[in-house]
């Protein structure tokens, strides 16, 4: 299994972020219900002053965006038989300022009570998708992915995917990620001297116990990164002797290793990747960089040779798209 296939298998889970998936459907419904409950949508005392009328409303964008959240809103509004939702665009579609996103028809009170919740979902998801596509173009051919700094959880991941990014792992059960606090606990419990020893201990403990699983470990030093590579390669001693083709074949039924270079400088990452690529196992290991990365320096990171850049800012600091709902 080559590296691009490994990345697609373990870091792109957008196929699971569909309404047809019961788990995703439950997440969408839970968020929607929470938003409506928080807004007391069923007790919109202003809308109650209006006579019940059938109206039509249009949702438009006030800026160029990548649309996202369409599938979610279309599904959620099916629960309201008194209104209908007609989408004009699909998730991931690039639309221009002034373009129509959807038309909502039906009971005026229902439309008004749902207006802000509908817009909040579309604005947030479209904002994330729009920013993701912008950064994806700056980083090409390096992949971009969110972290778990996702206030709206799977919906935020779905929005990143709509913009052309990876999803990374969807939740805590979706792959192993050994972070600094895990390593610190291992250091404390086992009287280990440094991160390098903790990395070695962690991988020796975990690798024999699991198969067909994504394993990622966070490192802050070159020594720790090489320790991870050493332990990973020692698990497959025959593969190295039998050649790269055999490595690719046998890794299909084992584990994927990702090394996260956390808070490194772009220069240090570039030098490390150039150096580590002489190792035969490097082609089967995914290298991810995270920390100290922003839009102003993305082009430098695109030239480092890493496979993935992960950024919490994609979701925790996303700027909402500027959309409006107007009664026709």
The span from the CA of 295 to the CA of 52, in Å, is 49
What pLDDT, on a 0 to 100 scale, did the predictor assign at position 3? 84
Residues of the chain with pLDDT under 50: 238-243, 245-253
Cis before residue 141, ω within 30 degrees of 0? Answer: yes
The span from the CA of 147 to the CA of 311, in Å, is 6
What pLDDT, on a 0 to 100 scale, did the predictor assign at position 297? 84
Residue pair 241/205 in contact by the 8 Å Cβ criterion:
no
Written as six digits, the tokens of 246 are: 């055999």
> For the chain, which domains are there?
3-10+133-316 (3.20.20.70), 14-130+320-327 (3.90.1170.20)
What pLDDT, on a 0 to 100 scale, did the predictor assign at position 115? 96
What pLDDT, on a 0 to 100 scale, did the predictor assign at position 4? 85
Prediction pTM value? 0.91
What pLDDT, on a 0 to 100 scale, did the predictor assign at position 64? 98
DSSP letter string, 92-121: T-EE-TT-EEEEEEEEHHHHHHHHHHHHHH
What pLDDT, on a 0 to 100 scale, did the predictor assign at position 209? 86
What pLDDT, on a 0 to 100 scale, did the predictor assign at position 237? 55
The span from the CA of 311 to the CA of 295, in Å, is 10
Return the number of other C-beta atoms located less than 10 Å from residue 137's C-beta: 11
What pLDDT, on a 0 to 100 scale, did the predictor assign at position 217? 96
H or E stretch including 42?
A: none
What pLDDT, on a 0 to 100 scale, did the predictor assign at position 210? 83
């Amino acid at each position: 299994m080559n590296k691009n296939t490994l990345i697609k298998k373990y870091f792109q889970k957008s196929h699971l972020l569909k309404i047809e998936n019961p788990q995703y459907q439950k997440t969408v419904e839970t968020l929607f219900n929470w938003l409506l409950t928080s807004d007391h949508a069923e007790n919109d005392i202003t809308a109650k002053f209006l006579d019940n009328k059938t109206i039509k409303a249009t949702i438009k964008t006030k800026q160029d965006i990548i649309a996202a959240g369409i599938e979610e809103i279309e599904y959620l509004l099916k629960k309201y038989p008194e209104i209908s939702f007609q989408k004009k665009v699909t998730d991931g579609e690039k639309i221009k300022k002034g373009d129509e996103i959807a038309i909502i028809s039906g009971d005026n009170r229902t439309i008004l009570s749902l207006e802000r919740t509908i817009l909040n979902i579309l604005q947030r998801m479209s904002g994330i998708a729009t920013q993701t596509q912008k950064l994806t173009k700056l980083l090409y051919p390096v992949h971009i992915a969110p972290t778990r700094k996702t206030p709206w959880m799977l919906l935020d991941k779905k929005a990143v995917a709509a913009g052309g990014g990876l999803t990374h792992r969807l939740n805590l059960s979706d792959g192993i990620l050994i972070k600094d606090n895990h390593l610190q606990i291992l250091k404390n419990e086992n009287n280990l001297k440094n991160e390098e020893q903790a990395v070695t201990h962690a991988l020796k403990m975990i690798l024999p116990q699991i198969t067909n699983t994504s394993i990622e470990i966070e490192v802050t030093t070159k020594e720790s990164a090489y320790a991870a590579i050493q332990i990973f390669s020692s698990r497959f001693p025959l593969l190295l002797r039998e050649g790269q083709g055999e490595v690719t074949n046998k890794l299909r039924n084992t584990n994927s290793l990702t090394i996260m270079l956390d808070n490194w400088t772009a220069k240090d990452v570039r030098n490390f990747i150039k150096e580590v690529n002489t190792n035969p196992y490097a082609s089967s290991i995914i290298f991810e960089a995270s920390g100290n990365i922003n839009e102003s320096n993305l082009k430098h990171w695109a030239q480092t040779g890493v496979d993935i850049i992960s950024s919490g800012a994609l979701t925790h600091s996303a700027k909402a798209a500027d959309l409006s709902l107007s009664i026709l």
